[in-house]
Amino acid sequence: MPAEEPEFDTGVALYERIRESLGWYPTADVDVLVVGGGIQGLALLNELTDRGYAAALLSNSPLGAGQSFDWPGTLSKGYLDPDPTVRESIEDEWLPFAEDERVPVEGGEWYVCSTDHPYQYLPDQWDEHGYEYDERGIDGLPEVYRDGSIFAKGSGEHVTAIDEYTIDREALVRALADGHEERIVVGDVTDATFTEASATDSAPALDGLTVETHQELTVEFDPDYVVAATGTGTHGFVDSLVGSGEFERAGGDAERVRESLSPVTYRNRLVLAVRGPAADLPAVSAYLPHRGMSVVARRHRYRDENYVTWYVTNESSLESVDPADATDDAKGILDPEKVEVGYNKLFDLAPSVKDRAANGADLEFYAYATLEQCVDDEVTAHHAAPLDGLANVGVALPSGAAGVWATVEETLGYVGDAVDPSGPVEEIPTGGEPPYGRLADDRPGARWLDWKALGVRYPRVQNRPDAVERN
């Protein structure tokens, strides 16, 4: 039996260290390189491989760590903006995939609670597009909201049960990556080379990428085509390519390339998370279109009990973000004043949550900010297209879960026009054993606050009579 290869503490074999020191970098010659290790990038890698492409994936962070990291797993059929393609994507793509791959999906209680406006327009649209719903009336309002201020302003009271789902995000990321681990490299692009524009191509083409892995190894990618599935890091990634002197020397027009990304913008979104035992925080989700609020409830297992986490958002807290300031990890800027306003609105909406926390229930609170991607100012749109001014680079960017599969199909279309599949590769040099991200409220350093600590951290939250006046 041959002796095992000696390894350094980083887990990198000795021969890899020797090759690195000599500059003998391995080359990955692939048909398509997908850049971005979120749900969109992994779904694209899966489909490209199934269709016979020599495909690989490059991520600069743990898989599912960007926009996917902050996504609570909502499979929204678009009840507030009815669209048959959105509904069909959930029913025909997501749910069958989850069943085949044994990814946990839960339904639970979901409601639209609204005054006459905009509710008067919704049932007709639901009927037209085949949505399922059950009008309950005010008596059907779940108890957790029964004493709240859902209908304190405006006219009319409409409570409708709807058909929505959430999916186990971490299990989904692992299912999409399953069998592709050796095709996945985690590292950072350190250099890019380009071929000059020719008579047949009016723009330069990306010739190669040098990547330093997070194991401190180097690999050269030689792709025929590159797809940026990089979410909120897309503008930064593209700018790192076209902003180089190499691109300019190849005859490239950086502004032309950047302009093709102009439909893609970002907004800063505040998310308020509350978690606790299901007995105190029931798994009831609600959309309040007249308030611009939503409560997405997910079941989790913390400690020895069945715990539930609520993710609460409010449209009034949204702020536009300059694409130049967007972060790769989709992390936004947290405004303490908006956190206080948001929690006060939540406690007006569901006062029993405040009452139970104040009376000793085991409830915890956490606020974070994330970046939300928009396409042409729409959050349900997607952008899958070749970049103008860069001959062999395209983008694949959904603005919601329902857009993932549509983006895959459109991306396969333009990639298929440019590249023929040469057969799947089994492994990529320096690939294998990628790390995985977790939900945003489980991120390292996430500070969950009990009821007392919430009032200390955010003193204007109405957790005691003098909270507002005190500051």
Q: Residues 401, 29: contact at Cβ < 8 Å? A: no
pLDDT exceeds cutoff 50 at 465: no
Q: How far apart are CA 118 and CA 290, in angstroms?
A: 7
Q: Sorting pLDDT into bands at 50, 70 and 90, what band is 69?
A: confident
Per residue in 411-450, pLDDT tens?
999 999 999 999 999 999 999 999 998 888 887 778 899 9
Q: Residues 328, 233: contact at Cβ < 8 Å? A: yes
Distance spanning both ends of the chain, measured CA to CA: 73
Q: Tokens 């994936």 correspond to what residue?
A: 57
**Which of 22-26, 209-213, 271-275 has the least mean pLDDT?**
22-26
Percent of the chain at pLDDT > 90 equals 73
Q: What is the pTM of this model?
A: 0.91
pLDDT exceeds cutoff 80 at 19: no
CA distances to 80, 95, 162, 361 from 88, in Å: 15, 10, 15, 40
pLDDT exceeds cutoff 90 at 337: yes
Of the candidates 38, 16, 385, 418, the residue with the CA atom closest to the CA atom of residue 223: 418
- Domains in the chain: ranges and CATH: 14-67+173-263+378-418 (3.50.50.60), 107-165+265-375+440-470 (3.30.9.10)
pLDDT exceeds cutoff 80 at 16: no
% helix / strand / coil in the chain, to the nearest 5? 35, 30, 40
Q: Sorting pLDDT into bands at 50, 70 and 90, what band is 336?
A: very high
Q: Residues 379, 403: contact at Cβ < 8 Å? A: no
Residue type, 319: E
Per residue in 379-401, pLDDT tens?
878 899 999 999 999 999 987 88
Please give the pLDDT value at position 7: 33
Three-class DSSP category at 117:
helix
Residue type, 353: V
pLDDT exceeds cutoff 80 at 469: no
Residue type, 405: W
Q: How far apart are CA 401 and CA 290, in angstroms?
A: 23
Q: Tokens 């956190």 correspond to what residue?
A: 339
pLDDT exceeds cutoff 80 at 201: no
pLDDT exceeds cutoff 70 at 303: no
pLDDT exceeds cutoff 80 at 9: no
Six-digit token string for 131: 């949505």
Phi, psi of 63 (to 5 degrees): -60, 135
pLDDT exceeds cutoff 60 at 222: yes
Q: Residues 317, 269: contact at Cβ < 8 Å? A: yes
Q: Tokens 């925080």 correspond to what residue?
A: 281
Please give the pLDDT value at position 13: 59
Greater confidence (237 vs 21) lies with 237
Please give the pLDDT value at position 444: 74
pLDDT exceeds cutoff 70 at 241: yes
What is the pLDDT averaged over residues 278-287? 95
Neighbouring residues of 75: CB distance < 8 A, sequence distance ≥ 6 = 90, 94, 95, 105, 164, 165, 166, 167, 401, 402
What is the pLDDT averaged over residues 91-105? 95
Q: Sorting pLDDT into bands at 50, 70 and 90, what band is 1?
A: very low
Burial class of residue 442, CB neighbours in 10 A (0-12, 13-18, 19+): middle
Q: Residues 342, 368: contact at Cβ < 8 Å? A: no
Please give the pLDDT value at position 18: 58
- Residue 118: cis peptide before it, omega within 30 degrees of 0: yes
Pairing of strands 165-167, 55-59: unpaired
pLDDT exceeds cutoff 70 at 71: yes
Q: Sorting pLDDT into bands at 50, 70 and 90, what band is 77?
A: very high
Three-class DSSP category at 230:
coil
Please give the pLDDT value at position 197: 82
pLDDT exceeds cutoff 80 at 88: yes
Q: How far apart are CA 441 and CA 151, in angstroms?
A: 30
Please give the pLDDT value at position 17: 62
Mean pLDDT of the chain: 89
Please give the pLDDT value at position 442: 81
Six-digit token string for 432: 């294998």
DSSP for 396-420, please give it. EEESSTTHHHHHHHHHHHHHHHH--
Per residue in 132-179, pLDDT tens?
999 998 888 999 998 899 998 778 999 999 999 999 999 999 999 999
Q: How far apart are CA 152 and CA 155, in angstroms?
A: 9
Three-class DSSP category at 294:
strand
Q: How far apart are CA 306 and CA 101, in angstroms?
A: 24
Q: Residues 231, 183: contact at Cβ < 8 Å? A: no
Neighbouring residues of 221: CB distance < 8 A, sequence distance ≥ 6 = 27, 28, 30, 33, 56, 58, 208, 209, 210, 211
Percent of the chain at pLDDT > 70 equals 92
